[in-house]
Chains A and B, each alone.
Chain A
Amino acid sequence: MENILQVKNITMVYPTGVIANKDVSMDVKKNSIHAIVGENGAGKSTLMNVIFGKIHPQEGEVLYKGEKVSFKNPNYAIKAGIGMVHQHLMLAPDLTVAENMILGIEPKKGKIFLDTVNALEITREVSKKYGLDVPVDKKIKDLPIGVRQRVEILKALFRNAELLILDEPTSVLTPQETEILFETLINLKESGKTILFISHKLSEVKRLADTVTVMRDTRVITTRDASDLTEEKIAHLMVGRDINSGRIGEPENPGNIRLAVKDLSYVDDENVQILKDISFDVRAGEILGIAGVEGNGQSELISIITGLLKPADGSVSVDDNNIIGLSPRQIRELKVSHIPEDRMENGVADMASLEENFIVDRYYKSEFSKNGKINWKYIKDYSVDLIKRFNILTQSSKTAAGALSGGNIQKVVVARELSSNPELIIAAQPTRGVDIGSEELIHDLLKKARDDGKAVFLISADLDEILKLSTRIIVIYDGHITKQFTDCSNISGMDLGPYMLGVKMEEGASGKIHS
């Protein structure tokens, strides 16, 4: 079978110096379903963006239908017959399905007017041709997300897409919607289209794909027929690591339960069940790591524990205080601190000085202000001390946080959250995008916190980090706990992989996990 797309030796380095693709090559057969799998940061999205003309690699080439192409921007890719369905759908909410469909290539009546009748007709036709049922005259905002996605697929097909790229298409769908999507994709293949999709869910990959490309750490590991692979094998290829050697020492006996989460469920605004009956404890003097591919409910779990989101069901208690319904400040008052997963969004105010960033959770306490008057003199000394203790590279304590490097900004966040004398530390992606030096420092600090008898709840997409730090590990997949490892001294990524990817599941795992 001929190849519709060939990627040859692509190397992509972002202006920030991050290498995202290294010598990546891959062939996509015409008229097939081709899956790309890999962990977060493996380079899948970068590769898709290269193919679609959004970014331009330093080295390598893309061949489409046998010809070398270099799309200046996505419009050229669309014209050549490549369609992309983004995770965040690109639709105008107040326009109808038909209007979204024809946007940019509107049918005209008498050279000036929009031919609405024709637009509806065209949409109906395309919809019928591909067997994708959509209400053509309804506004997007009135439709469920699964139907919206169908509109997005139709939009691409209407633009004569022969190669359809879908970026984690099932992550926003309910199981029923996922079923319908699969039927659609299979039908599309049968009608001669080629489908390239990114996924984390190996059961889906196994069910749908003819060919699978596995990426790991910016490289392509292999491209094989799906029939040659089992889910276990794919998982193995994806995480393929040696037994970790860098483990920090094991703790003394863990103490009392600090954080207890029981039967926690969360359903989002689109009615998708994000968390299902999650239960676990974190004890003083231990680090509980949550391993899992990003987007499996971790963010929501943290938001609930820190008071930024309300759960549908279940309880969360800190030192026996039920915290559901408490404000973020009330929860912090229970000696909880929180290193947020996105430092620029939640962790700092980039235009504010380091001093102002250090005190956001404590400015009202008597140490920092009296009768409403802020004691800047004290705060300056306090900040200088933190800067020194946490080895933050900055000109002064008055420098704006945004002027520092990523690693140093993260150290600012960590310094604040560890210096509030917390008993429970929620650390989400604590070392994401930071340099090696900062990473080591942050790991040491978390270990020290553990040894000082703090309870640490670590959420990370970085398996090495989880394996290095955790006393116990629970694995989360699709909103529920698939496995708990109580002894982590001898496990590797290989052991976690199948559970992270939903290939294996411990019977009744989430119910059982109470240490």
Chain B
Amino acid sequence: MEKFILKYFTLIRTIIAILVGMIISVVLIYLISEMPAYSIKQFFLGPVLSKGRFANVIENASPMIFCGVAIAIAFQAKQFNIGAEGALFISAAVGTAFAVSTGMPTVLHVIMVLVVAGATGAIWGFIPGILKAKWGASELVASLMMNYIAYYGGLYLINSHFRDKDAGFLVSIRLPETAWLPQFMPGTRLHLGILLAVIFAFLGYYFLYHTTSGYEIRTTGNNQKFAKFGGMNIVKVIVLAQVLSGMLAGLGGMTEVMGIHRRFNWQMSPGYGWDGVIVAIIGRNHPLLIIFAAFFLSYMRVGGQILNLMADVPSELVLVIQSVIIILITAEAFLSTWKNKITIKEAERVEVANESVTQ
């Protein structure tokens, strides 16, 4: 038992953190709702009680998966990249501009738009990456600045050059149909992008855990001096991690445009990059766990929206729970006394076992 707990300690701690978050949500709902039982049911089961809502969960999870994997790759290299939001925004804008200015047969067009968007995101990751790797400039501040540059640059591009003047809002011209990602379930907005998100999560997993470059990234994040000692080129590794991170976030933004709105319609930054940070933390920087984390977060969000509509509890409840979960997951001191006790117990057990062998 002790051995099991120690082996899966981080996972167990994550689950406990999530449970604590759930308990707090129940308590809060009880405190403010006139009809707590109904509200709680809506929050926890609402998303699965209708096809449309469940589709919403999956739709929203898609960019979260992209951004979560993007952030995870940077975090695995111990790079504090919070630039996924900017990479997503600028890539979607540039990709949209490319899509509406070119005409190609459908499959090729989709691929080319994704390539352009991915490349834009890659450039967005490259800049903080090289500044950090070569000169030690804080990637946190650099990526934050890149977010704003992306936001204003993207808005400029769309509003000044690709704006749909017939639309009542500030939105881009509609993408030509050749650049659409197909929606595959009538009555929902489920589109190919979700599949791509899952595929890229698997690719991200494969990359991090089964390729030499992924190994380099993880080793560098683990102990940079050791990586250098072993002969790795640290500058190259850090830049690669940031470039891939930017690329994935960029793809996340573009698939959202190509699959759901079919035009660039963000006047505010959509926040998926920040969701990516949350999802990466909950998913422990593991791309496959991130798929679940993204569904979990998306599920909570949709649950919150249902609460908002159907019951008398504001959906921002979810933000409060999120923050509690993140604190509990990232706080090393959380449950550490418990872990230490188990470690000592286990060590004693092993010692006793060893002694009985030698006797």
Q: Do chains A and B touch in the complex (CB under 8 A)?
A: yes
Asked if A361 contacts B230 (CB within 8 A), the reply is: yes
B212 within 8 A of A: yes
Contact with B along A354-373 (1 / 0, CB 8 A): 00100111011000010011
Asked if B231 contacts A327 (CB within 8 A), the reply is: yes
From 94 to 117 in chain B, residues with beta carbon under 8 angstroms from any chain A beta carbon are: none
Contacts A372-B212, A374-B211 hold; do A352 and B219 have CB atoms under 8 A apart?
yes
The CA of A332 and the CA of B228, in the complex, are separated in Å by: 12
Asked if A347 contacts B226 (CB within 8 A), the reply is: yes
Contact with B along A8-37 (1 / 0, CB 8 A): 000000000000000000000000000000
Residue on B nearest A359 in the bound complex, by CB = B215
Asked if B219 contacts A349 (CB within 8 A), the reply is: yes
Q: Which of A140-148, A201-209, A338-346 contacts B (4 or more CB under 8 A)?
A: A338-346
The CA of A306 and the CA of B223, in the complex, are separated in Å by: 18
Asked if A356 contacts B215 (CB within 8 A), the reply is: yes
A92 within 8 A of B: no
Contact with A along B230-245 (1 / 0, CB 8 A): 1111000000000000
With a CB–CB cut-off of 8 A, which chain A residues contact B301? none
The CA of A352 and the CA of B228, in the complex, are separated in Å by: 15
Asked if B231 contacts A350 (CB within 8 A), the reply is: no
Asked if A346 contacts B219 (CB within 8 A), the reply is: no
Residue on A nearest B343 in the bound complex, by CB = A403
B55 within 8 A of A: no
Q: How far is the CB of A348 from chain B (nearest CB, A)?
A: 6
With a CB–CB cut-off of 8 A, which chain B residues contact A329? 231-233
Asked if A347 contacts B229 (CB within 8 A), the reply is: yes
Contact pick for B213, options A332, A348, A372, CB 8 Å? A372
The CA of A179 and the CA of B150, in the complex, are separated in Å by: 59
From 214 to 229 in chain B, residues with beta carbon under 8 angstroms from any chain A beta carbon are: 215, 218-219, 222-223, 225-229
Contacts A345-B225, A350-B223, A360-B219 hold; do A328 and B212 have CB atoms under 8 A apart?
no
Asked if A340 contacts B229 (CB within 8 A), the reply is: yes
In this complex, the member of B212, B218, B227, B233 whose beta carbon has the largest number of chain A beta carbons within 10 angstroms is B212
Q: How far is the CB of A176 from chain B (nearest CB, A)?
A: 33
Asked if B219 contacts A328 (CB within 8 A), the reply is: no
Contacts A329-B231, A332-B231 hold; do A346 and B226 have CB atoms under 8 A apart?
yes
The CA of A360 and the CA of B215, in the complex, are separated in Å by: 9
B341 within 8 A of A: no
Asked if A328 contacts B223 (CB within 8 A), the reply is: no
Contact pick for B222, options A327, A349, A374, A376, CB 8 Å? A349
Q: How far is the CB of B125 from chain A (nearest CB, A)?
A: 20
From 87 to 134 in chain A, residues with beta carbon under 8 angstroms from any chain B beta carbon are: none
Asked if B230 contacts A360 (CB within 8 A), the reply is: yes
The CA of A376 and the CA of B231, in the complex, are separated in Å by: 20
The CA of A369 and the CA of B210, in the complex, are separated in Å by: 9
With a CB–CB cut-off of 8 A, which chain A residues contact B219? 349, 352, 356, 360
Contact with A along B168-190 (1 / 0, CB 8 A): 00000000000000000000000
The CA of A401 and the CA of B222, in the complex, are separated in Å by: 12
Q: How far is the CB of A200 from chain B (nearest CB, A)?
A: 27
Asked if B210 contacts A328 (CB within 8 A), the reply is: no
With a CB–CB cut-off of 8 A, which chain A residues contact B213? 372
Contacts A356-B219, A360-B219 hold; do A374 and B229 have CB atoms under 8 A apart?
no
The CA of A327 and the CA of B219, in the complex, are separated in Å by: 18
Contacts A327-B233, A360-B230 hold; do A346 and B211 have CB atoms under 8 A apart?
no
The CA of A117 and the CA of B284, in the complex, are separated in Å by: 53
With a CB–CB cut-off of 8 A, which chain B residues contact A491? none
Residue on B nearest A403 in the bound complex, by CB = B6
With a CB–CB cut-off of 8 A, which chain A residues contact B233? 327, 329
Asked if B226 contacts A360 (CB within 8 A), the reply is: yes
A180 within 8 A of B: no
Contacts A349-B223, A350-B223, A363-B215 hold; do A374 and B210 have CB atoms under 8 A apart?
yes
A229 within 8 A of B: no
Asked if A348 contacts B223 (CB within 8 A), the reply is: yes
With a CB–CB cut-off of 8 A, which chain A residues contact B231? 327-329, 332, 360-361
Q: How far is the CB of B255 from chain A (nearest CB, A)?
A: 26
From 191 to 236 in chain A, residues with beta carbon under 8 angstroms from any chain B beta carbon are: none
Q: How far is the CB of B329 from chain A (nearest CB, A)?
A: 17
Asked if B223 contacts A308 (CB within 8 A), the reply is: no
Q: How far is the CB of B193 from chain A (nearest CB, A)?
A: 27
The CA of A346 and the CA of B222, in the complex, are separated in Å by: 11
A351 within 8 A of B: yes
Asked if B229 contacts A328 (CB within 8 A), the reply is: yes
Asked if B223 contacts A364 (CB within 8 A), the reply is: no
Q: How far is the CB of B235 from chain A (nearest CB, A)?
A: 11
In this complex, the member of B211, B213, B230 whose beta carbon has the largest number of chain A beta carbons within 10 angstroms is B230
Residue on B nearest A306 in the bound complex, by CB = B229
Asked if A348 contacts B226 (CB within 8 A), the reply is: yes
Asked if B212 contacts A363 (CB within 8 A), the reply is: yes
With a CB–CB cut-off of 8 A, which chain B residues contact A308? 228-229
With a CB–CB cut-off of 8 A, which chain B residues contact A359? 215
Asked if B223 contacts A374 (CB within 8 A), the reply is: no
From 25 to 76 in chain A, residues with beta carbon under 8 angstroms from any chain B beta carbon are: none
Query: Besides A329-B232, A351-B223, 13 other CB < 8 A contacts?
Result: A327-B233, A328-B229, A328-B231, A345-B225, A348-B226, A349-B219, A349-B226, A352-B219, A352-B223, A356-B215, A363-B212, A372-B212, A374-B211
Top 6 A-B residue pairs of the complex, sorted by shortest distance between their CB atoms: A329-B231, A360-B230, A349-B222, A349-B223, A346-B229, A328-B231
A-B contact list, 28 entries, CB within 8 Å: A308-B228, A327-B231, A327-B233, A328-B229, A328-B230, A328-B231, A329-B231, A329-B232, A329-B233, A338-B229, A340-B229, A345-B223, A346-B229, A347-B229, A348-B223, A349-B226, A351-B223, A352-B218, A352-B223, A360-B227, A360-B232, A361-B230, A363-B212, A364-B212, A372-B211, A372-B213, A374-B211, A374-B215
Interface of B with A (CB < 8 Å)? 210-213, 215, 218-219, 222-223, 225-233
